Structures are given as C-alpha cells and as structure tokens.
Chains A and B, each alone.
Chain A
C-alpha cells in the first residue's frame, strides 16, 4: 500500500535498484504531459514499468508498462485497462487509458513572461533550465521552463496540468488531490447533502494544517534549511496520525483531542523557531513582494492575499466559523517571508479551530445551502456550483497566483526565483480552475 501525503501526491519517481523502474503518478495523464514523461524516462530505456495510482481513490493502484520507443508514452494494450499482477487487489481500472481520455479533453495551461535583459548590462551566456514536473519542492505536475541571463531569470514559462475549469453533467469527484477534503465538502454541500458542519470544519482545518506544513517542509528543502525540514516533518507525522484517527470507522474524539493538543504545541514551537533569529526574514524578506493594492488588482485569494494584508477569507462569512470565534490572520509584508509565516501561523490556528469544533461536536446534521458553495481551501476559495443539468467547480484566484508568481520571478536570481515561486504554494491541479 502506498503512502498518502496530500502535498506530495502527484508524480513520484521510485527507482529501486534491481527492480523495474517505476513511477508513481496519478492515473490521469494529460496528453501534454507525455513528451515530458518521455524526456524524463528515456534514460531508463524504452520500456518502463509504471505504477499508476489514482489519488482520489486510495488503494487503487494499477501498473502499466509504457513503451517509450516511439517517443510517446502510450500504454501497452494489455496493461492499459486493467490492474497488473503487481498491483494490490481492489484496483478500479483507472489506468492509463483513462488518463489519455482525460488528456485529449484537457489542455495544459501555460504562462510565459519575458523580462528586461540583465540589469548589470553584462552579456551573459543564456541558460535554459527546465524544472519539474518531478521537482521535490513543488507538487508534481508543475513544469517551470526558465531562460536565465547568467543566473538572473530572463523569461519564465509555467505549465500546469489542467484546463481552466471543470464543467460536468455528473457529480464530480475531488478535482485537486492537494485539497481533497475541502473539495469533497464543497461538492457535498452543493449537492444538498446533509452534513455535520462542525465535523466538516474540523476535517477541513486539519487538511489546511497538513497542507501548510507539508508546503513548509517542501520550501525548507528548497532553501536547504535542514532543521526546519526535519521539524516540519515531525509535526506532519503527528498530524497524519490525527488524520488516520479521524478517518477511522469509529472516531475516538478523546484520543483525537489529545493528539490535537500535542500537535498544537509542536506547531507553536515550529512557528517560534521560524521567527527565531530572524533567519526567515534574512532569507526571504523583500523577495517577491506583492503589495495589498497589487494583490487586490491581480485578484489574489487565500493565504497569498492575506499575506499582503487583504482580509480575503471565505471563513469570515461562515456562521459556523463565527460561532467558534474565527478571525482571519493577516500579515502585512506581502513578500515570501510574510507568505511563509502566515501559513505557519494559519496551521497553528487551524489546529486550534479543529479542537474547538470537536469540543462542540454533536451528532446533529444540517441541510447545507446547496447550489453554490464556497469553501476556503488551503490555497484559497473553492467553489462548487450545481444547476439542473451541470456541475461547475472553480478555484477563483488560483490562476492569478500563478501569474503574479511568474511576474515576481523575472529579474531575480534562479535561487530567489524558485523560492518566490514556492512561496505562492501553487497547485498544478487547481491552477486555472
């Protein structure tokens, strides 16, 4: 059984000595990803065994052998539609063919921005760097293609996996593996399904804390900050234990409460060490600054907007959040340091909110508003809308974040540009939705 870390799900190379080369990846592979896969996998030979995991359905794992000899990552006929002998039982048949079909319909969204030549006026050798889709600091599926003038970023293009929005006639599943709980809640509520609001709140807040901390760990890896990476990893292990506990058939609320209490103090220590010695400011302050005005104008949402001082949070208008005393956290700097600190503080706040929600939890369920529901996910608002004949899922502000991130990278050194890009916490699955 494969592990499920919501932030790290996505493409995950797993090359083991003495075994067939494998690549763990979501079952949906858009058409545009195939050349990238070919580039990445070609050193391994023409035939590569791929383990394909459908993130939205834990436990469903297919294995397909891709033939790369003709330059296109197409599955072999025999393997594409069914589980391989290697795969655990219970496969759902979400093989490569599913991905291909999706890929035909899907389009990868891209954004390219060209900046001025090197500010020092020196003529430098132009270097082209492609980063991803398997780069550790970012979730799988994000491809950064940069042209460097010396080490200064001259031109950047970012490709994401998905198209601008999801419109479907059937009830959709969670479209973003990096925020499955928040999406599922939004879809459930839009479907007039009766839900226990406090239970939903606790689960969404736990997901937010997990997402923010997994992101912090990735950012720390990118920055080469081993201590922070380890510390975030320890806290994440604790939160994952809570998630498993909450997903159990019979939830032991007392045990969850104890675990949440422990997690709250770990996160407080993490936030303290993040600010201690001003190392965070020293490394990230003044990088990728987005003023409140610019954030408003660009349409940024979620933590990226709140780090610029904007009170953009779907939770503010939600009665159940108001009942447990929620107030959105804000930072004023608008730079990479502010975005980092805000997410760390929000992770701490989320655990606190989850505890408060669980303490007031009763068995009551209420009828959700239905039709159009907006939930504040880890990266901003997630909107699920249903009409008589269609479903529509949107993540307003997600593509704005990518545009602002790309603009902020131009002219920066590659080292800083990557840190800036990472600080926006982009999800290739939510981009453009």
Chain B
C-alpha cells in the first residue's frame, strides 16, 4: 500500500459511483442522459443544508459521513487488479464484511437522529433487515474462502483462473446477491427509505450536501458490492485478451446492472417476510453452502 493508495481508492469510488449512476439510469429509466445526472447532482448540492428540528443533530449529521466512510472502506478491500489492491489483508473478506457492518449504525443514526416517525421506522426496519442479510453474507464468505484456503480476496480470484466460483458454487451466489442488494438498500430491499411508504424514511430529512453524500455513498456501496461479487464469483480480473483491470471493471458493471435490473422487477419485500425468508430458508441454505464448499474443497481444491 503506497502513499497514493488512499487517493486511488477515492478515485475508484468517484469514477465507480458515476458509472453506477449511469448504469442505474439505463436500467431503470431506459435512457442515457449524463447531463441530466449532472444537473440533478448540482441541484441537490445547491439546495441549502437542512437544519431541521432533529432529535439528535450530532447523530443526524454524522450519519452521512459514516455511510461514506463505510462505503470507501468496502471499496478499499476489493481486489481491482493483480497490481492494485487497496487494503490487501490476509483476512480481507472479513474486513470487507466488517466495513459493511458500519452501514447499519449509519442508517440507524440517520433515522433516529431525525426524530421523525418515518425516520425512526426506517431505522428500525434497517436493523431488522441487517438481521436478515448479515448471516448469509458471513456464511457465504466462508463458503467461497474455503476452496482458496484463504480469506484474502486476491487469493480467491487466483483460485478461479480456470473455473469461476459462480459455476462451482451457484447456491452461494444465489444467497450472496440478495444479501448485497440489501446491504446497498436497493430495491426490493429499500426498506429504510421506502419511497411511497415512508417518504424517504431514514433519509427523509436530508437536503443539500447531506443528501448528496447519502446518494453518493449508496452508489459507492453498489460499486463495492458488485466489485467483490465479481472477485468472489466471476474470476475477478481473470480473462483473455483484455487488460485485467478492464475485465474487472466490465464484470463489476455487469453485476451492478444485474442487481439494479433484478431489483426493479419485484415489489419491495415486507420486513417480516425478509426475516422469515432469511431465518427459515437463507440461513439453512447458507449452512448447506458451507458443507458443499467443504466437500468441493476436499475433492477438487486440495
């Protein structure tokens, strides 16, 4: 990790968020209008910061920064190419999951700090959602790490140089994708903000720079989640002809587009149903995925 790495991480996050916004525009609005995105961003930033009569101003104004920090940290753990890894820890996957856990207090702080009923409700919904997605993420991480014999993301990419993990462990992929959609509070798991139901929910009181930070953090989270999905299941930077970095970027973009596309095709989940599915179905299946992964490791990766 050089002195320039933090700047590179910020650069990846900025460029990634811009591309994710364009992908979202294409997928959800069926059009590509970068100028409209810029206009909307400028309008949001021009809007004065809201100073509502919030219950806890500190929590309220700290939450967007915490969310951005969590998203940046998650991006830093993604192995973007063989030569560029932000934080290359031997337990990088755990670090990635740990970074995502900071999304939980950030969203709850936003909702609770606002003191509005919709915000508090959004915050509580988010806690419930976290109980649903956290276990599948942790267990799938274990299942994917086993064949590589390492929790280092770059080792997991290397072990997929012949067969991507998506083909070897489709069950783990099937559990991972909804879980990361939930982490990014994207439809159909946009329970904390739930446009139409809670009028923005946990984020309903944010305006101006705060609102821009929240929207930016969500896009960076999407980039991080898609990047890690590409690394864990689709062979990361492995691929013929094209440069490794381009392969990784393409795979990340495709995963992000897929997540956004799938999310728009189903109605928003109900909180109780998410928990029910998570505890009655996803968690047992995640345990099964670990068992399958163990067998595969013994049979093919040793």
**A residues neighboring B (CB under 8 Å):** 17-18, 43, 125, 127-129, 131, 135-137, 148, 151, 220-228, 230, 279, 282-283, 413-416, 418
Chain A residues whose C-beta falls within 8 Å of the C-beta of B265 in the assembled complex: 226-227
Bound together, the chains give a CA A43 to CA B50 distance in angstroms of 10
Known: A17-B47, A127-B121, A151-B121. A224 touches B267 (CB 8 A): yes
Chain B residues whose C-beta falls within 8 Å of the C-beta of A222 in the assembled complex: 196-197
- In the assembled complex, the CB of A330 is this many whole angstroms from the nearest CB of chain B, namely 25
Chain B residues whose C-beta falls within 8 Å of the C-beta of A151 in the assembled complex: 121, 124-125, 271
Q: Does the CB pair B187–A415 fall under 8 Å?
A: no
Chain A residues whose C-beta falls within 8 Å of the C-beta of B190 in the assembled complex: 224
Q: Does the CB pair B196–A128 fall under 8 Å?
A: no
Q: Does the CB pair A418–B197 fall under 8 Å?
A: yes
Please tell me which one of the listed residues A18, A129, A224 contacts residue B194 in the complex, with CB atoms under 8 A apart.
Answer: A224
Bound together, the chains give a CA A117 to CA B52 distance in angstroms of 32
Bound together, the chains give a CA A17 to CA B45 distance in angstroms of 11
Known: A224-B267, A227-B265. A17 touches B197 (CB 8 A): no
- In the assembled complex, the CB of B148 is this many whole angstroms from the nearest CB of chain A, namely 36
Chain B residues whose C-beta falls within 8 Å of the C-beta of A416 in the assembled complex: 270
Bound together, the chains give a CA A28 to CA B237 distance in angstroms of 63
Chain A residues whose C-beta falls within 8 Å of the C-beta of B30 in the assembled complex: 230
Q: A-facing mask of B8-49, CB < 8 A → 1, else 0?
A: 000000000000000000001010000000000001001100
Nearest 8 pairs between A and B by C-beta? Answer: A224-B268, A226-B264, A223-B267, A225-B267, A222-B196, A127-B117, A283-B267, A129-B117
Chain B residues whose C-beta falls within 8 Å of the C-beta of A148 in the assembled complex: 117, 121
Q: Does the CB pair B272–A413 fall under 8 Å?
A: yes
Taking A224-B188, A224-B268, A230-B264 as known contacts, 18 extra A-B pairs with beta carbons closer than 8 A to each other, sorted by chain A number, are A43-B52, A128-B117, A136-B195, A136-B196, A151-B121, A151-B124, A151-B271, A223-B267, A223-B268, A224-B190, A224-B194, A224-B196, A226-B265, A279-B266, A282-B267, A283-B270, A415-B194, A418-B196
> Is chain B's binding surface mostly helix, strand, loop or mixed?
loop
| A to B CB contacts below 8 Å, 15 in the list | A17-B47, A43-B52, A125-B120, A136-B195, A151-B121, A221-B196, A224-B188, A224-B194, A225-B266, A226-B28, A282-B267, A283-B270, A413-B272, A415-B197, A415-B271
Q: Does the CB pair A224–B121 fall under 8 Å?
A: no
Q: Does the CB pair B121–A225 fall under 8 Å?
A: no
**B residues neighboring A (CB under 8 Å):** 28, 30, 43, 46-47, 52, 117-118, 120-121, 124-125, 187-188, 190, 194-197, 199, 263-268, 270-272
Q: Does the CB pair B117–A224 fall under 8 Å?
A: no
Q: Does the CB pair A224–B187 fall under 8 Å?
A: yes
Chain B residues whose C-beta falls within 8 Å of the C-beta of A125 in the assembled complex: 120
Bound together, the chains give a CA A227 to CA B264 distance in angstroms of 6
A136, A226, A418 — most chain B CB neighbours (10 Å): A226
Chain B residues whose C-beta falls within 8 Å of the C-beta of A136 in the assembled complex: 195-196
Bound together, the chains give a CA A223 to CA B265 distance in angstroms of 11
Bound together, the chains give a CA A223 to CA B264 distance in angstroms of 11
Bound together, the chains give a CA A129 to CA B199 distance in angstroms of 11
- In the assembled complex, the CB of A202 is this many whole angstroms from the nearest CB of chain B, namely 32
Bound together, the chains give a CA A220 to CA B121 distance in angstroms of 21
A17, A224, A227, A415 — most chain B CB neighbours (10 Å): A224
Bound together, the chains give a CA A32 to CA B121 distance in angstroms of 28
- In the assembled complex, the CB of B220 is this many whole angstroms from the nearest CB of chain A, namely 22
Chain B residues whose C-beta falls within 8 Å of the C-beta of A224 in the assembled complex: 187-188, 190, 194-197, 267-268
Bound together, the chains give a CA A264 to CA B267 distance in angstroms of 25
Bound together, the chains give a CA A414 to CA B264 distance in angstroms of 22
Bound together, the chains give a CA A129 to CA B43 distance in angstroms of 29
Name the residue on A nearest B50 (C-beta): A43
Bound together, the chains give a CA A418 to CA B197 distance in angstroms of 7
- In the assembled complex, the CB of B250 is this many whole angstroms from the nearest CB of chain A, namely 25
- In the assembled complex, the CB of B267 is this many whole angstroms from the nearest CB of chain A, namely 4
B47, B52, B187, B197 — most chain A CB neighbours (10 Å): B197
Bound together, the chains give a CA A355 to CA B47 distance in angstroms of 49
Bound together, the chains give a CA A222 to CA B267 distance in angstroms of 9
Bound together, the chains give a CA A221 to CA B267 distance in angstroms of 9
Chain A residues whose C-beta falls within 8 Å of the C-beta of B194 in the assembled complex: 224, 415
Known: A226-B187, A413-B271, A415-B270. A17 touches B196 (CB 8 A): no
Name the residue on A nearest B196 (C-beta): A222
- In the assembled complex, the CB of B270 is this many whole angstroms from the nearest CB of chain A, namely 5
- In the assembled complex, the CB of B281 is this many whole angstroms from the nearest CB of chain A, namely 14
Q: Does the CB pair A221–B195 fall under 8 Å?
A: yes
Chain A residues whose C-beta falls within 8 Å of the C-beta of B197 in the assembled complex: 222, 224, 414-415, 418
- In the assembled complex, the CB of A427 is this many whole angstroms from the nearest CB of chain B, namely 19
Please tell me which one of the listed residues B47, B121, B125, B195 contacts residue A129 in the complex, with CB atoms under 8 A apart.
Answer: B121
Bound together, the chains give a CA A199 to CA B272 distance in angstroms of 50
Chain B residues whose C-beta falls within 8 Å of the C-beta of A227 in the assembled complex: 264-265
- In the assembled complex, the CB of A377 is this many whole angstroms from the nearest CB of chain B, namely 25
Bound together, the chains give a CA A223 to CA B197 distance in angstroms of 8
Bound together, the chains give a CA A227 to CA B187 distance in angstroms of 11
Name the residue on B nearest A138 (C-beta): B196
Q: Does the CB pair A135–B267 fall under 8 Å?
A: no
Bound together, the chains give a CA A17 to CA B47 distance in angstroms of 8
- In the assembled complex, the CB of A412 is this many whole angstroms from the nearest CB of chain B, namely 10
Chain A residues whose C-beta falls within 8 Å of the C-beta of B52 in the assembled complex: 43
Q: Does the CB pair B199–A225 fall under 8 Å?
A: no
- In the assembled complex, the CB of A337 is this many whole angstroms from the nearest CB of chain B, namely 11
- In the assembled complex, the CB of B207 is this many whole angstroms from the nearest CB of chain A, namely 10
Q: Does the CB pair A127–B267 fall under 8 Å?
A: no
- In the assembled complex, the CB of B219 is this many whole angstroms from the nearest CB of chain A, namely 17
Q: Does the CB pair A127–B264 fall under 8 Å?
A: no
Known: A223-B267, A415-B270. A137 touches B196 (CB 8 A): yes
